[in-house]
Structure 1
């Protein structure tokens, strides 16, 4: 038997005690989330016309929305800027401490400045307002105190006051920063709807990762063409068709009539079934082994939608001909879609 650990008196990890502590923590976690959710509900019920006007200003802004903050509010401001930029509203975050050392140069008269300060008295932010005025930029202050300096100096005030922080000492910014973040998201969503921002627009700003590929990659971008596309005639000898498939390195070939129209598809599975039937491959034509009227797909379809076609197909197929005016122009292969990182 191995060496047993020596625990301080009363500190042994009793299973029952672990469960009790875990339950206490879970109860507290649930209460914190309920308290913050309640604060957001209260805030939503008392939004005023200032928030609607903020959406209008942001939508009509000819320059950029410059979010500005410091400390915890600064982190929220930075995230708000990132959300705006990714949803079609040009935006940049300016750290208040860096602003007074030259970063104010990024602000122009065409910009809209959105200041984040829950107390409304943060010195690094308050002393920026004269410069904003001199530049000629509009300023919105998001704050928890309507009577603060930052509120009085702004062109528009967004009151995000909460009754108290969920911090047990009512000190650490918790509920207040949640309120700021939620309002920022609400503003971004309202502005993107005003812009009629579409999934296609979203994809332009998210080219990397599965999200971008799902929204931008089309069948034409992934289908096999040229030497990688096997096409044979209906009367092509079956053994010759097998050679064409092998050289293309695909799992099958598109079968066409004399006019070049797709009439069938012969896959590896079709070939195996033909050989197992006992028929003579030496005298057979491709049409003797092909599957007639195969499922097809169009080149303009999103690759992600094409993947769903494969997944929902009643038969487990691995390839589909891509057709244009009834003629095969490519071959879409399931393995290629999976390698493209669409899932």
Structure 2
């Protein structure tokens, strides 16, 4: 934190006396206590009925998408629930109820499942479109804080997200109620994820721009150097020739191959430094005599993250890439993996 920022923060604190600060801390703690209590109450309700199981069954049977809808704070929560469902193997989207009443309802089909979120269960914008949803034959799941509300009674499955009170001291601003609704949405998504057998690889396919996506979708062939960029020399060449190849290709090493192109060794910058410590005359050295035999290999179709593991375990910065017949087809440097953000 800069000196200026620290001074600004201290001035802000100076505006409050100690009693006001203590009250602020008490309010923060009470908010968390209320929301934790609301979560525990939700958990007890879930253990007491089978509504979540029924909802999961409807969503699993859905041949289309899960359409989530709500307005105001419920709408914000609905968007997050739809996003979580979509990223964990359940195709989903959010539709604003007011927009749905003016054309966006055309996005919904009879093959979809509809999740309507309203704490009161009486939201006018939602209630105006739900009769059409019902006539379509799309299953309706309601998430409300009032089991006797119009929305709850209209739904095929009602999920009770009622709370004893909001964390807001006026008991007005949606706080505890939105927290339990969001948590229940996460519970549905995770239950569906497990039921569908959703794996890390599936998650990566829907998150190609994220770190996990890069780790699980990037293969060695995507980042390896190939063709003339791969340093290689035959086993009987002088050390000077190998050093020239290392310098020209800029990988800090060269592969040593036989006449058929199979790698039989590797020589690195580190090997050269260690050689200098014990050898004075390099002119008569053949690369076969100073190379490391049986170098580490990886195949093009393997995940790049597997190559990272091998490099880390063996404390090496380069690896050779071979085909099914053990012929040299590429090379990897740790910097290549860093640039590809696999590491």
> How high is the TM-score relative to the length of structure 1?
0.89
Please show how residues 197-212 of structure 1 align to structure 2 within 5 Å.
197-212=198-213
Please show how residues 71-90 of structure 1 align to structure 2 within 5 Å.
71-90=72-91
Please show how residues 49-68 of structure 1 align to structure 2 within 5 Å.
49-68=50-69
Please report how far the alpha carbon of residue 306 of structure 1 lies from its aligned counterpart in structure 2 after TM superposition.
2.6
Please report how far the alpha carbon of residue 25 of structure 1 lies from its aligned counterpart in structure 2 after TM superposition.
3.6
User: For structure 1, which segment, 213-222 or 105-114, has the greater mean C-alpha deviation from structure 2 after superposition?
Assistant: 213-222
Q: What is aligned with 1:336? A: 336
Q: What is aligned with 1:323? A: 322
Look up the SS of the partner of 1:294 in the other structure.
Answer: coil
Q: CA contact under 8 A between 1:65 and 1:89: conserved in structure 2?
A: yes
Distance 1:227 1:258, change over 3 A: closer
Structure 1 residues 22-52: Cα deviation after superposition (integer angstroms, max 9, x where no partner): 5554443333223212211221121121110
Asked if residue 284 in structure 1 is aligned to residue 269 in structure 2, the reply is no
Cα separation, 1, equivalents of 2:124 and 2:283: 89
Please report how far the alpha carbon of residue 279 of structure 1 lies from its aligned counterpart in structure 2 after TM superposition.
3.5
Aligned length: 331
Look up the SS of the partner of 1:332 in the other structure.
Answer: strand
Distance 1:34 1:290, change over 3 A: farther
Please report how far the alpha carbon of residue 12 of structure 1 lies from its aligned counterpart in structure 2 after TM superposition.
7.8
Structure 1 residues 122-164: Cα deviation after superposition (integer angstroms, max 9, x where no partner): 1111111211122221211110101101111112211111111
Q: CA contact under 8 A between 1:271 and 1:289: conserved in structure 2?
A: no
Please report how far the alpha carbon of residue 270 of structure 1 lies from its aligned counterpart in structure 2 after TM superposition.
1.3
Q: What is aligned with 2:97? A: 96
Please report how far the alpha carbon of residue 305 of structure 1 lies from its aligned counterpart in structure 2 after TM superposition.
3.5
Cα separation, 2, equivalents of 1:258 and 1:227: 17
Please show how residues 100-139 of structure 1 align to structure 2 within 5 Å.
100-139=101-140
Cα separation, 1, equivalents of 2:12 and 2:141: 54
Cα separation, 2, equivalents of 1:124 and 1:231: 70
Cα separation, 2, equivalents of 1:20 and 1:240: 79
Q: Which runs of 5+ in 1 are unaligned?
A: 1-10
Q: What is aligned with 1:5? A: none
CA RMSD of aligned residues (A): 2.3
Distance 1:210 1:133, change over 3 A: same
Q: CA contact under 8 A between 1:228 and 1:250: conserved in structure 2?
A: no
Look up the SS of the partner of 1:128 in the other structure.
Answer: helix
Q: What is aligned with 2:35? A: 36
Asked if residue 264 in structure 1 is aligned to residue 265 in structure 2, the reply is yes
Cα separation, 2, equivalents of 1:196 and 1:247: 49
Look up the SS of the partner of 1:184 in the other structure.
Answer: helix
